[in-house]
Amino acid sequence: MPSTPALSKTTPGILRRSAAPAAGIVHLGLGNFHRAHQAIYTDAAVTANGGDWGIIGVASRSTAIPDAMHAQDMLYTVVEISPKGSRFSVPRVHTDAFTAAANPGRVVKAIGDGGTRIVSLTVTENGYNYTPATGSLNMQDPAIQHDLVKPGSPQTPIGQIVRGLQHRARTHGEPVTILSCDNLADNGHHTQRLVREFASLLPAGEAAETLAFIDANTSFPSSMVDRIVPATTDHYRGLVASQRGYRDRIPVPAEPFTMWIVEDNFIAGRPTWEAGGAVFSDEVAGYEQLKVRLLNGTHSLIAYLGALTGAATIPDAVANPDIELAARTVLRNEYLPSVSVPSSVDVDAYEEQLFSRWRNTSLGHRTSQVGSDGSVKLRQRIPLPALKMLDEGRTPQLLALTTAAYLACIAPLPGFDPGPQAHAMEDPARGLLADLAGGSRSGADLAGKVLDDYHLLGEALAERGEFIARTGEFIDIIHSAGPVAAIAAANSS
Ligand code: CS2
């Protein structure tokens, strides 16, 4: 039997254009999300209206995706998965792909190149090297320390961007847009603040020159991105081989739903992403709040409570009526009141759409994936809605429960086993939080150390004893009576 051929530019029937456009975008974070989101919109824009908007994809550490992309003529398959069936597409926009860790100088050169007009990022909340306590650049981070003194080999995205901007300032001086596509509240300003903070820490003359360039020649639009993109598995490789007749080492599974709301503030031009359905809007802040709180915040609650009940996937977790009730309550009563809902959004329809997306059983989105990196994700999701409720004299029961369930997964008190899904969650603060838990006698003790001393959810919430005490009580209930008892306690308070 002939073996299945590998995906390449000669694979019949997949390419709408014979060649990728010339590069105009450097994308930091060549992961699954980018390949199923911005790449699809860019492909639609270039197909409809042309333009030199090819993408140089930069993976942070792993060489797996760049290697496979080179072996497949920069191609890969996006597999849209719904219970009704699968749809396949092959974007044709990447012009190059490499790994930053192995080629730090090349990243600086690509960002510094005059042909680069947009530097976009999907580096996750964990990629911005900020301190949860203050939202500022984490000066204790050895990678930031390294990047401040080693201009030629930056390791962090913020360091890479600033070094690339310095190159631009000193050579051609062309403007460039820095576009964050991560789930950070106010992601444009947040990124701009970190970039400026890094630049201001350079030696005096360099700092002034770089800041002047940043202020005159860059823009930092905010954007809200949305598409559920699970990790790929052999199942999807098999599906592509059997349904499309070629071998793809790196297919990307994604839900059919996709959304991109962008602030139209591009100092050096942009692709016509509206051709792919992107919406340019002045209401990005409202969309970001809506998404980061209602979707991502509720997602965290579902992931941690789900993992504690043994659910491996998000659809399994929301199928549990207690978890569904907790999710609906946190979304409606605790997140929604803090959101400036954009004029075109019908909240009831948005909520129902979220639940139907979360119920997509064919997607297999794992609780351990959504539960990973909680120490940097929850900082984006919980503090502002919690503070608003506390200021109004109400206790945010389910936000405290989210925090408690997170800690029960990542930093259980001695003698408690949160189960395999919790063990599989990765988190940059796992070691530190586990140490704090190891030396704690009770939930109150742990919650005090994590929220008050360590400021996991920022400085303002560290001052709110009521929130910390309630989190401690939920930690104890989860440890002694389980997550369902904790949901009942939250709902009856
Ligand atoms: C999830 C997001 O992992 C998480 O924290 O909430 O990755 C979510 O699936 C996407 O933001 C959906 O757009």
Ligand 1 pocket: which of 295, 363, 379 to mutate (most atoms within 8 A of CB): 295
**Order of strands, sheet of 23-28, starting from the edge strand that comes earlier in the sequence:** 94-99, 54-59, 23-28, 118-121, 176-180, 218-219
Q: What is the pLDDT of residue 1?
A: 38
Rounded Cα distance between 238 and 180, Å, is 33
User: Rounded distance, CA 383 to CA 451, Å?
Assistant: 11
The dihedral of CA 332, 360, 375, 472: what is its sign? Answer: positive
pLDDT for 168 beyond 50: yes
Q: Return the residue whose CA atom lies nearest to atom 11 of ligand 1.
A: 226
The atom of ligand 1 lying closest to the CA of 259 is 13
Q: Lowest mean pLDDT: which of 2-16, 36-50, 171-185, 338-352?
A: 2-16
How does DSSP classify residue 136?
S
The alpha carbon of 285 and the centre of ligand 1 are apart by a number of angstroms equal to: 18
C-beta contacts of 383-386 below 8 A and 24+ residues apart: 383/457, 383/458, 383/460, 383/461, 384/185, 384/338, 385/293, 385/297, 385/334, 385/335, 385/337, 385/338, 386/334, 386/457, 386/461, 386/464, 386/467
Atom of ligand 1 nearest to the CA of 377: 5
Q: Where do we find the tokens 């191609």? A: 75
d(C-alpha 302, C-alpha 354), whole Å: 12
Ligand 1 centre to CA of 370 (Å) is 6
Helix (H) / strand (E) containing 224: strand 223-226
Task: Tell me if the pTM is above 0.80.
Answer: yes
List residues near ligand 1 (CB under 6 A): 183, 226-228, 296, 299, 369-370, 377
| ipTM of the prediction greater than 0.90, yes or no | yes
Specify the residue with its C-alpha closest to ligand 1, atom 1. Answer: 370
Please say if the pLDDT value at position 20 is more than 80. no
The C-alpha atoms of residue 31 and residue 374 are separated, in whole angstroms, by 19
Amino acid at 375: S
CA of residue 80 to ligand 1 center, whole Å: 16
Which residue from 32, 180, 228 has its CB within 8 A of the most atoms of ligand 1, so it is best to mutate?
228
Nearest alpha carbon to residue 387 among 458, 448, 449, 328: 458
Rounded distance from Cα 251 to ligand 1 centre (Å): 19
Tell me, what's the pLDDT at 185? Answer: 84
The share of the chain scoring above pLDDT 70, in percent, equals 99
Residue appearing with tokens 């980018």: 34
Which range, 81-95, 130-144, 444-458, is most confident?
444-458
State both tokens at 400. Answer: 């405290």
**Which candidate, 437, 473, 484, 477, places its Cα nearest to that of 306?**
484
**Residue ID of nearest Cα to ligand 1 atom 4:** 370
In this structure, the strands spanning 259-262 and 252-254 are: unpaired
Nearest to 329 by CA among 291, 365, 301, 292: 301
pLDDT in tens, 24-52: 999 999 999 999 999 999 999 999 999 99
Mutate which of 183, 258, 291, 382 for ligand 1? The one with the most ligand atoms within 8 Å of its CB, which is 183
